[in-house]
Chains A and B, each alone.
Chain A
Amino acid sequence: MPYHGDIPNLIAQTASRGPASVRAAARLMSIVTDHPERVATMLAGATRWPQPRLVLGITGAPGSGKSTLTDQMAASFRARHPDRLLGILAVDPSSPFTGGAVLGDRVRMMRHATDPKVFIRSLASRGHLGGLALGARGVVRIMGLLGCDVVIIETVGVGQSEVEIAQNADLTVVVLAPGQGDSVQMLKAGLMEAGDVFVVNKADRPDAATLQANLLNMLKMGWMARVDLYHEELTCHGPQMLVAGQSADGGKALSSIPDLPLDAAAPPPVFLTSATNAQGIEPLVDHVESRAARDADAWRARRDTQITREVRDAVLESARKRIAHLIGRNGTSQATLAPVLEGRISVDELTDQLIRRALSDIDTTHRIQPT
């Protein structure tokens, strides 16, 4: 089946879910990752695209078992929903020296490679910091258009501060393995704050139970600290003074304390898994599914906010480019900027002039077009 290269056609083919949809979706993904300047075209109307029910992030240090866990969770989702599509987006690092990359996550997922209900895409980070790759969000959206019910995003092996996944997934699973650090490591900011769910993988190792115990302690302490801060705010700035947890009006004020935000209602759970032996996977997926059922509405609202932000960025970028074009490159901008450099007009006045010129350029372009 020949595919047609223009974006609206590829979108239509992807949405058709026919035999050519996989190739069309794959081409669209290349456009969002290779040609960020064309993403703006794609975004128009993207809010009406079908979205995945669940976007699950899997992150953790290199070698903690993210790919194997992703593979096992994918198998579990497939068994639970045999008729639904599953998308996997796996990010691996690019060489900062040559730009090349070896994307090897598929090796651990090859049993899904001929499953027509599983779409796997590997992305290289291409110098993007944060644990994901440029265009990752667009790839997830295209997986939604293709009809994926669940999308699993596996990040590059991260250190402490690559937590971009938390803004891009509905639910983030942080994978740890025994032997990666003591309890002080766990107090540090960043990755340990980004997890909604924690997994201690390689549970067959002897020190896995210790890690789980340390982790539970740390998460509980962190949670209590947050609850404390939250209530302190209420007691100090709320309408009624609370003294030592007791209300001055005999309990009425206590019941007026609103519920804690959803994600702070309990410390994040910790699951023990041994991904290579397929152990501990089902309780983990049970938990993820129950969160998906409970929080679906809140997640949808958050995704809408993300799209709004993206379109806003795209509009700003488009405006920036048009003005930049008028100013000219570094070497040729001297003449345009001279009035400001010589103090004859202000930066604001020049900006006004450039905006006016950008607008009249558009008029001229329209006028000289035949018909």
Chain B
Amino acid sequence: MLDPTPKARVLIGKPGLDGHDRGAKYVAQVLRDAGFEVIYTGIRRSPEQIVEAAIQEDVAGIGLSLLSGAHNVLFKRVIDLLKERGASDIVVFGGGTIPPKDIPTLTAMGVKAVFTPGTPAKRIVETLDTLLAQPA
């Protein structure tokens, strides 16, 4: 048995109204296997619910999965709410069917990484390892 020392805590949530959670669950599983503690909050959550959960759970990162096309609005709302709550240190990343032309907009509002369909699992883990590296 390996030494079960977890990496960072990460919240995976689906804001908005689409119910396609296969991607979110898959990423949750990938991150679990990579040693992260994943708090999975399920489908159709409001940005308020996601931010409140992230603060109570004291996570290092929030992963938003979205296939409805409302990413520009909902990602921004999450980032604004985090700012309001004094929790801007929580890293926000996202994934789903997000058109490449929107990625610069998301990056500009503070989304640290966007994983579109086809991203290798290994790259997601490596990116998060870097983004969520905890000071010892």
Which residues from chain A sit less than 8 Å from chain B, CB to CB? 1-3, 20, 22-23, 26-27, 29-30, 94-104, 106-107, 110, 113-114, 119-122, 124, 126-127
A27 touches B42 (CB 8 A): no
- Complex: how many Å from CA A104 to CA B13? 11
A135 to chain B, nearest CB (A): 12
Residues of A near B4 (CB, < 8 A) are 94-99, 126-127
Bitwise interface map of B from 68 to 90 toward A, beta carbon under 8 Å scored 1, else 0: 00000000000000000111000
B41 touches A107 (CB 8 A): yes
B38 touches A102 (CB 8 A): yes
- Complex: how many Å from CA A110 to CA B43? 10
B42 touches A107 (CB 8 A): yes
Nearest-CB residue, chain A, relative to B34: A100
A35 to chain B, nearest CB (A): 11
Show 26 A/B contacts (Cβ-Cβ < 8 Å), sorted by A: A1-B86, A2-B86, A3-B86, A23-B55, A23-B85, A26-B57, A96-B1, A96-B2, A97-B1, A97-B2, A97-B4, A98-B4, A98-B33, A98-B34, A98-B35, A99-B2, A99-B6, A100-B6, A100-B7, A102-B28, A106-B42, A106-B53, A107-B41, A110-B42, A113-B45, A121-B57
Nearest-CB residue, chain A, relative to B49: A113
Q: Which of A22, A95, A99 has the most CB of B within 10 A?
A: A99
Given the known A-B contacts A1-B86, A23-B87, are A100 and B31 also in contact in the complex, defined by CB atoms under 8 Å?
Answer: yes
Residues of A near B105 (CB, < 8 A) are none
A109 to chain B, nearest CB (A): 10
- Complex: how many Å from CA A100 to CA B37? 5
A103 touches B40 (CB 8 A): yes
Contact of B37 among A23, A106, A124 (CB under 8 A): A124
B55 touches A22 (CB 8 A): yes
Confirm or deny: B102 has a beta carbon within 8 angstroms of a beta carbon on chain A: no
A95 to chain B, nearest CB (A): 6
A56 to chain B, nearest CB (A): 19
Given the known A-B contacts A99-B35, A102-B38, A110-B42, are A120 and B56 also in contact in the complex, defined by CB atoms under 8 Å?
Answer: yes
B58 touches A26 (CB 8 A): yes
A27 touches B58 (CB 8 A): yes
Contact of A20 among B5, B40, B48, B86 (CB under 8 A): B86
B85 touches A100 (CB 8 A): no
A103 touches B33 (CB 8 A): no
B54 to chain A, nearest CB (A): 9
- Complex: how many Å from CA A104 to CA B42? 8
Bitwise interface map of B from 2 to 45 toward A, beta carbon under 8 Å scored 1, else 0: 11111100000000000000000000110111111111111001
B86 touches A98 (CB 8 A): no
Residues of A near B2 (CB, < 8 A) are 96-99
B6 touches A106 (CB 8 A): no
Confirm or deny: B116 has a beta carbon within 8 angstroms of a beta carbon on chain A: no
- Complex: how many Å from CA A101 to CA B31? 8
Confirm or deny: B52 has a beta carbon within 8 angstroms of a beta carbon on chain A: yes
B56 touches A95 (CB 8 A): no
Residues of B near A101 (CB, < 8 A) are 6, 32, 37-38
B1 touches A119 (CB 8 A): no
- Complex: how many Å from CA A95 to CA B55? 24
A22 touches B56 (CB 8 A): yes
Residues of B near A23 (CB, < 8 A) are 55, 58, 85-87
- Complex: how many Å from CA A113 to CA B50? 8
**Given A103-B40, A104-B42, 10 extra CB contacts under 8 A:** A22-B56, A26-B55, A26-B56, A96-B4, A98-B34, A99-B6, A101-B37, A102-B32, A103-B39, A110-B53
Residues of B near A107 (CB, < 8 A) are 40-42
Task: Give 8 nearest A-B pairs by CB, closest first.
Answer: A1-B86, A100-B32, A99-B4, A107-B42, A26-B58, A113-B49, A127-B4, A100-B35
